[in-house]
């Protein structure tokens, strides 16, 4: 889809509005430690929501601004270039919230979505399981109906923010006799419900953002079902498409700003000291810059797909696979510039903030796992786009 001159003018006017607001906003400093970061970003989400900058492409009926995905991209670009952080509740805003908006009951949309957008409620996504990560349809968490309640038993893993979340969008098998892609239901679980236990997992970054979640005879009202009983797989695919597409759009902007910042730091250091980094590292950083630009071109096509309603789509996997590769290449390249000083908290080789880039590098290793592994994305691309045989 090609933007008209009027569309372009509208987007540039919106960009000016965003820049003006950010210029006078109290943009927070975000600490590296998880607890401090979570608290700051949750308050920041409230600030953004009250200013009308959360749920930009959501419908007004769902509490959003009723604008286009292009407006959301403009905001993400300006946010990153102003050095301002993203809100904390992106699993809700970008991922599960969109599915609730599309498939949810009236009470779910009216009562849950405003608190999701404002950050009053944080959401997590109960999909992956210890033996059903890559093969999501083989999940073993069970749910059955007793009276007007579901009774749920099972275990989830790699559940981001589960120990901080108020709600979980959970997949459970509600018909054990159905083929594995059927008989799955999409259920909203209040994380304070008796029988729900979230156990944090410490990552190589030192954070405990991911969790195991255990569900033991958890009773959830049947009215918390999203869509129809046993038809949750299609809703799960919708959720995953938002996770892969929307997350890629936001992260691409952050990568662009990161590589530009690294280049500026290098130029400043070279100008002050006359010492240049090795050609090998500069070449790798150049490749990172080119990769970020290629990802930018890809995300422009993603915006077009969103505008035309072409989601979910196998092309979501192209987005996710590209994001994996660019993120890891970029942060590995920048961390290589630190050399042996990468573990020295008080050093800034080549003018770079060592602790910040090392943490980004460690976190980037998860890119090929979260939101669907790289292997799964390649399978989807091979089978659904290239027509290759399964397996």
CA angle 301, 98, 165 (to 5 degrees): 125
Report the C-alpha gap between 312 and 160 in whole angstroms.
22
Indicate left, alpha or beta for 29 from its phi (over 0: left) and psi (-120 to 50: alpha).
beta
A 10 A CB-CB count for 13 gives 10
Catalytic residue among 243, 254, 327, 360: 243
Closest CA to 126 of 182, 190, 176: 190
Whether 243 is catalytic is yes
Indicate left, alpha or beta for 146 from its phi (over 0: left) and psi (-120 to 50: alpha).
beta
Report the C-alpha gap between 4 and 84 in whole angstroms.
30
Report the C-alpha gap between 98 and 238 in whole angstroms.
8
Catalytic residue positions?
Answer: 243
């Amino acid at each position: 889809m090609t933007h008209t001159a009027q569309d372009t003018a509208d987007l540039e006017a919106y960009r000016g509005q965003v820049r003006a607001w950010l210029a006078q906003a109290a943009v927070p400093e975000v600490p590296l430690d998880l607890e401090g970061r979570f608290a700051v970003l949750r308050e920041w989400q409230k600030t953004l929501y009250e200013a009308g900058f959360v749920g930009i492409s959501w419908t007004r009926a769902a509490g959003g601004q009723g604008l286009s995905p292009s407006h959301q991209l403009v905001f993400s670009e300006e946010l990153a270039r102003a050095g301002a952080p993203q809100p904390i509740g992106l699993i809700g805003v970008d991922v599960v919230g969109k599915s609730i908006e599309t498939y949810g009951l009236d009470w779910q949309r009216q009562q849950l979505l405003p608190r999701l957008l404002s950050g009053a409620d944080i959401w997590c996504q109960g999909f992956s399981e210890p033996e059903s990560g890559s093969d999501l349809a083989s999940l073993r968490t069970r749910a059955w109906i007793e009276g007007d309640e579901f009774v749920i038993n099972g275990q989830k893993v790699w559940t981001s923010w589960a120990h901080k979340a108020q709600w979980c969008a959970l997949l459970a098998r509600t018909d054990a006799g159905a083929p594995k892609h059927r008989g799955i239901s999409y259920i909203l679980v209040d994380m304070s419900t008796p029988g729900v236990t979230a156990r944090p997992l410490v990552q190589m970054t030192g954070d405990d953002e991911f969790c195991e979640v255990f569900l033991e005879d958890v009773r959830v009202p049947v009215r918390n079902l999203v869509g129809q009983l046993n038809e949750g797989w299609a809703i799960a695919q919708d959720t995953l498409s938002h996770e892969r597409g929307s997350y890629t759009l936001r992260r691409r902007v952050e990568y662009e700003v990161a590589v530009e910042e690294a280049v500026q730091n290098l130029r400043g250091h070279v100008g002050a000291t006359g010492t240049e980094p090795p050609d090998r590292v500069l070449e790798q950083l150049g490749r990172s810059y080119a990769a970020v630009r290629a990802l930018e071109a890809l995300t422009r096509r993603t915006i077009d797909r969103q505008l035309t309603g072409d989601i979910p789509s196998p092309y979501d996997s192209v987005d996710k696979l590209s994001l994996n590769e660019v993120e890891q290449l970029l942060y590995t390249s920048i961390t290589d510039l630190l050399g042996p000083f990468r573990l020295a908290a008080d050093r800034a080789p080549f003018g770079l903030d060592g602790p910040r880039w090392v943490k980004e590098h460690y976190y980037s290793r998860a890119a090929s796992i979260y939101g669907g592994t790289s292997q799964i994305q390649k399978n989807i691309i091979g089978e659904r786009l290239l027509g290759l045989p399964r397996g």
